[in-house]
């Protein structure tokens, strides 16, 4: 049985050397060491190939990612076909609109406008409708009503032609000449300017998640505190990203997606009289969503299966290089066998 095991092991020898002194069809010199080394190399190669395939098909191999920021001087646009911000004044952690329903009084009013600026210095304003958000994550918050998206309200910027558009959000105390059930100025002051109360704004951000292999939506949060003596003017400069995703096992295809990648917040503070004279706006805060000139270009290339196989071949070749040790052993056995043959022939000739 032991001889059969040794013979079987020699059959796996990938590093046997030619030896033509055998009788019969056997033309190579195999060794136990070469067979054992061959079995180890084959086993390690199969395991490594399985390991690579497992990583590939479970999405654990990182793609190639290149990213570059450029300053856009020509036209750049972010398509707006769904709500991208969620806002509300928080009163002790409760949305203000829910609090107003309990007390049957209105404290603040929100005005959202879509503004377009033209080359000749003129501009146009479209007042947008707000409604309670339907997303359960933002229950009680205010969102753009779905009816707004039947018109073209994209955010764009063209510095060369001096064309741009933005979203403006004005937060003001309730005006009793417009709304009959306003809270009194004292009630508004006592509630809004408490230190624990703040205005919260969420902005939808979309980025490609390389670990999960899909675009992922996140919500970046901002806190804005009001002051009775000054008005905060907050610019939220949206940074657009053009992501080119290339995928495929053997033949790859590319798809491009434009999203809001991030933004920069810039706060400026004015006196109530100063901003009213300069910009003809009033209230507690004024927020503007506009498009930043910085544009992020991202290229994501998922690996092809041929790249994985190429990596396997390189490791397999490295393992085969180790097999040269077995060839050296086989050659030493050939020299030993040749010496035995020569000595045997010489002995037979001498005593013949």
Name residues of the chain where pLDDT drops below 70.
1-35, 322-352
Count the domains in the chain: 2
Which of 127, 134, 131 minimizes the C-alpha distance to 151? 127
> Same structural domain for residues 283 and 179?
yes
Q: For 183-224, what is each residue's pLDDT tens digit?
A: 999 999 999 999 899 999 999 999 888 777 788 899 999 999
Length of the chain: 352
30 φ, ψ to 5°?
A: -100, 155
Tell me, what's the pLDDT at 62? 83
Tell me, what's the pLDDT at 331? 53
Exposure of 260 by Cβ count < 10 A (0-12 exposed, 13-18 middle, 19+ buried)? buried
> Same structural domain for residues 69 and 108?
yes
Residue 187 lies in a domain: yes
Which residues are registered as beta bridge partners of 236?
Answer: 265, 289
> Same structural domain for residues 147 and 223?
yes
Tell me, what's the pLDDT at 352? 54
> Same structural domain for residues 84 and 220?
yes
Tell me, what's the pLDDT at 22? 43
> Same structural domain for residues 47 and 171?
no
> Same structural domain for residues 85 and 166?
yes
Structural tokens at position 59? 């999405």
> Same structural domain for residues 239 and 282?
yes
Range of the domain at 22: 2-58+305-328
Tell me, what's the pLDDT at 337? 53
Residue 111 lies in a domain: yes
**Contacts of the segment 43-52: beta carbons below 8 A, 24+ positions apart:** 44/319, 45/312, 45/315, 45/316, 45/319, 48/312, 48/315, 48/316, 49/312, 52/308, 52/311, 52/312
> Same structural domain for residues 113 and 221?
yes
Tell me, what's the pLDDT at 325? 61
């Amino acid at each position: 049985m032991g001889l059969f095991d040794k013979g079987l092991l020699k059959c796996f020898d990938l590093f046997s050397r030619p030896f033509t002194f055998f009788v019969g069809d056997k033309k190579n010199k195999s060794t136990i060491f070469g067979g054992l080394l061959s079995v180890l190399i084959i086993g390690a190669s199969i395991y490594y190939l399985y390991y690579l395939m497992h990583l590939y098909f479970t999405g654990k191999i990182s793609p190639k990612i290149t990213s570059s920021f450029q300053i856009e001087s020509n036209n750049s646009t972010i398509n707006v076909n769904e709500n991208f911000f969620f806002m509300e004044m928080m009163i002790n952690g409760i949305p203000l609109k829910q609090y107003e329903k309990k007390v049957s009084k209105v404290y603040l009013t929100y005005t959202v406008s879509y503004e377009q600026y033209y080359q000749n210095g003129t501009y146009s304003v479209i007042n947008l409708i707000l409604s309670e958000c339907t997303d359960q994550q933002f229950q009680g918050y205010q969102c753009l009503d779905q009816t707004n998206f039947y018109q073209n309200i994209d955010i764009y910027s063209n510095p060369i032609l001096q064309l741009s558009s933005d979203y403006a959000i004005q937060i003001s105390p309730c005006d009793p000449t417009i709304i009959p059930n306003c809270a009194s100025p004292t009630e508004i002051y006592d509630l809004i300017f408490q230190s624990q109360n703040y205005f919260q704004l969420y902005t939808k951000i979309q980025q490609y998640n390389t670990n999960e292999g899909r675009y992922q939506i996140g919500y970046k949060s901002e806190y804005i505190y009001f002051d009775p003596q000054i008005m905060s003017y907050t610019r939220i400069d949206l940074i657009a990203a053009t992501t080119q995703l290339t995928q495929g096992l053997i033949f790859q295809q590319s798809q491009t997606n434009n999203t809001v990648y991030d933004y920069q917040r810039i706060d400026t503070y004015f006196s109530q009289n100063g901003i009213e004279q300069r910009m003809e706006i009033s209230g507690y805060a004024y927020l503007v969503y506009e498009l930043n000139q910085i544009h992020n270009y991202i290229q994501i290339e998922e690996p092809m299966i041929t790249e994985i196989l190429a990596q396997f071949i390189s490791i397999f070749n490295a393992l085969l290089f180790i097999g040269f040790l077995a060839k050296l052993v086989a050659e030493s056995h050939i020299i030993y066998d040749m010496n035995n043959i020569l000595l045997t022939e010489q002995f037979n000739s001498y005593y013949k």
